[in-house]
Amino acid sequence: MLVALGACAPDPESPAAETAPRADGPTEQAVAIDAEVAANRALGVGDRAPDFALPDATGETVRLSDLLLDGPVVVTFYRGAWCPYCNTQLRDYQQALGSFEATGARLVAISPQAPDSSMSMAERNALAYSVLSDTGGQVSQQYGLVFRVDAETRARYEAVGIDLARYNGGDTDAAWALPVPATYVIDPSGIIRAAFVEADYTQRASPRQVLEALQEVV
């Protein structure tokens, strides 16, 4: 399967936007990336969700198994603060947060960003739910979502001011790995009851889809 990994224009409110070229320039052209391995490995409905313990934007550790003691959990994996589609999705989820919580659910968002980057993103978007840092992508890897950014795409990202090493806390190969955007609804027993895994980075699970999945769990 081919996925369009876009060298998309940075979010206008992101620091990367200060040096970005025109949004309709050649760097906006998607680069075809073979994501078949990542897509095939992604966890799906009926799988047990791997437990994790990750720091939130303030450095406090959040553990999935602890959250599940209180009810279902929505876990969404996103690429980073530099991605406008991610910002839109997380803001939409913030608007729907009351409806999610009315079902007894908790919501957490996970990216490979360092806590400092997550903090600035959470503040800018006024997010009232936990934004967790999976630096190095170990948790994303457990969920089968990680793929490496190839050299050509990395050059395109850098050309529009997107430096993943800065966002993700280190100039290493791990800093240039991204998760396929995905949202999971996990029931209190730790089983995935709904999985929205979309290789096309422009497509995300809508709040309505997530809410409908939660209503089936409860």
| pLDDT value, residue 37 | 57
In which band, very low, low, confident or very high, does the pLDDT at 39 lie, cut at 50, 70 and 90? low
pLDDT of residue 99: 98
- Measured distance CA(2)–CA(32) in Å, rounded: 6
Residue 26 has pLDDT above 80, yes or no: no
pLDDT at 68 over 80: yes
Relative orientation angle of helices 84-95 and 207-217, to the nearest 10 degrees: 50
The answer to whether 82 and 17 are in contact (CB under 8 A) is no
Q: How far apart are the first and last CA of the chain?
A: 34
Q: Which of 3, 57, 83, 86 is catalytic?
A: 86
Please report the sign of the dihedral spanned by the C-alpha atoms of residue 210, residue 14, residue 123, residue 144. Answer: positive
At the fourth CATH level, the homologous superfamily of domain 43-148+162-217 is Glutaredoxin (3.40.30.10)
Distance separating alpha carbons of residues 194 and 181, to the nearest angstrom = 14
Interacting residues of 151 by C-beta distance below 8 A, sequence separation 6+: none
Q: What band does 152 get if pLDDT is binned at 50, 70 and 90? A: confident
Average pLDDT over residues 159-176: 84
Q: How far is CA 52 from CA 28, 65, 119, 181, in A?
A: 35, 8, 20, 18
pTM given for the model: 0.84
Taking only the tens place, the pLDDT of each residue in 205-215 is 999 999 999 99
Token representation of residue 17: 């936007």
Q: Domain spans of the chain?
A: 43-148+162-217
Q: What is the pLDDT of residue 42?
A: 93
Is residue 86 part of the annotated active site? The answer reads yes
Question: Rounded to the nearest 5°, which phi and psi values hold at 76?
Answer: -120, 130
Q: What is the dihedral of CA 177, 134, 192, 63, to 10 degrees?
A: 170
- Average pLDDT value for the chain: 84
Average pLDDT for residues 2-27, to the nearest whole number? 39
